Homo-oligomer: A and B are copies of this chain.
Amino acid sequence: MKFKPVSDHFLLSLPLLFLLFHNRAEARLFSLSRPKPDAAASFARWLVSQSSWGVLNTLSSDLGGAPFGNVVSFSDGLPHEGHGIPYFYLTTLDPTASNALKDQRSSLTISEYPVGTCGKADPENPTCSKITLTGKLKVVAGNTGEAEFAKKALFTKHPEMKGWPKDHNFQFFKLEIENIFLINWFGGPKPLTVEQYLQAEM
């Protein structure tokens, strides 16, 4: 006995059909919201706000001044309300935060690949976008409006952070952006100033 093709069976099930089209519609909405590559500022803001994690790079005095990348979660605001500045929740038990307290030079690197909108392009293909925000990694002062914003932005996108161990002394950090390296098409990095990036309309 041969199994019938799966598609025949899907057609027998109206709720499944509904689910299929429902998911397709969502997928389409999502890909519609990806800005065109030429709209560099909006594109960069889109990539940062769609992403929940990246690699945060600092200078490691323990490793002879080598650049040290570390996987971190971040948030630039509430979902669909990103403001462009990445905030982090870090502990000095981890080398990244302690490196930054010695030397603030830092960068955050994000790939579009895990977002799922690169199609069949290789992660290193320039049409699969990537961004590196370079600047200074700084502690956000406690009991300020900015600390409240950072907390809400991070804990909304990363709910488990609320329960992370108190004795690890996690602190809010932010990356003060000084330079932007965005590749989202052929032809090299897009010219994009920090001001254009921060003022982009979403």
Listed in ascending order, the chain A residues whose CB lies under 8 Å from chain B are: 3-4, 6, 9-10, 12-16, 18-19, 52-55, 57-60, 63-73, 89, 93, 95, 105-111, 113-114, 121-125, 130, 132, 134, 158, 160-161, 178-179, 181, 188
Contact = CB atoms under 8 A, between A and B. Distances in A.
B71 A130 contact: yes
- 6 nearest CB pairs, A to B: A69-B109, A67-B67, A53-B123, A57-B67, A55-B55, A71-B130
Given A9-B13, A68-B132, A188 B124 contact: no
B107 A66 contact: yes
Contact of A105 (B18, B64, B69, B158): B64
Contacts of A63: 134, 178-179
Contacts of A95: 181
B158 A124 contact: yes
21 contacts: A3-B14, A4-B15, A6-B19, A52-B123, A53-B111, A53-B113, A55-B55, A57-B57, A57-B66, A57-B69, A57-B109, A63-B179, A67-B69, A69-B109, A70-B130, A70-B181, A71-B110, A71-B124, A89-B124, A93-B188, A121-B160
Given A3-B18, A113-B114, 17 more contacts: A6-B15, A52-B123, A53-B124, A55-B55, A66-B106, A67-B68, A68-B107, A68-B132, A69-B69, A71-B111, A71-B123, A73-B124, A93-B188, A122-B158, A122-B160, A124-B158, A125-B160
A14 B161 CA distance: 42
**Which among A67, A89, A107, A132 has the highest number of chain B CB atoms within 10 Å?**
A67
B13 A134 contact: no
B73 A122 contact: yes
A91 B188 CA distance: 12
